Structure 1
Amino acid sequence: MEVGVDWDQCEANGVCAGIAPDVFELNDDDELIIADGPVPADREDDVRDAVAQCPKAALFAKE
């Protein structure tokens, strides 16, 4: 699984970073950073949860 973001929708609310901080983080300028590469198998459920809870529906998972 990989995760992507619609940068036009993302407001960097940080909900995703709270759910899966090893995959999502906000930098010092409050910009979203997504870890490179595929999501580790043991983190997929949390990433799906982060995608579902994004307030702007800016995140998407690619299986």
Structure 2
Amino acid sequence: MAEQKQKVTIDGAEYNLSDLSENARNQVMNLRVTDQEISRLQQQLAITQTARKAYANALAEELPKKH
């Protein structure tokens, strides 16, 4: 079976990871880690925004009604 090389696409160009310098591979890894952290933070933000809306709705229910 032929070994499949890992590839990465940067600015529309595809590269074999094994063809990149060690520093370039490290930067790819850094980008992947930061992309994962951005995704995690976006999920946390969505959860927090949902909770805030629920709290605001609960507060609105507790406020005296204006006539």
TM-score (norm 2): 0.29
Q: Which has the higher helix share?
A: 2
Q: Which has the higher strand share?
A: 1
Give the greater-gyration-radius structure (CA). Answer: 2
Q: Which has the higher contact order (CA 8 A, sep 6+)?
A: 1
TM-score (norm 1): 0.30
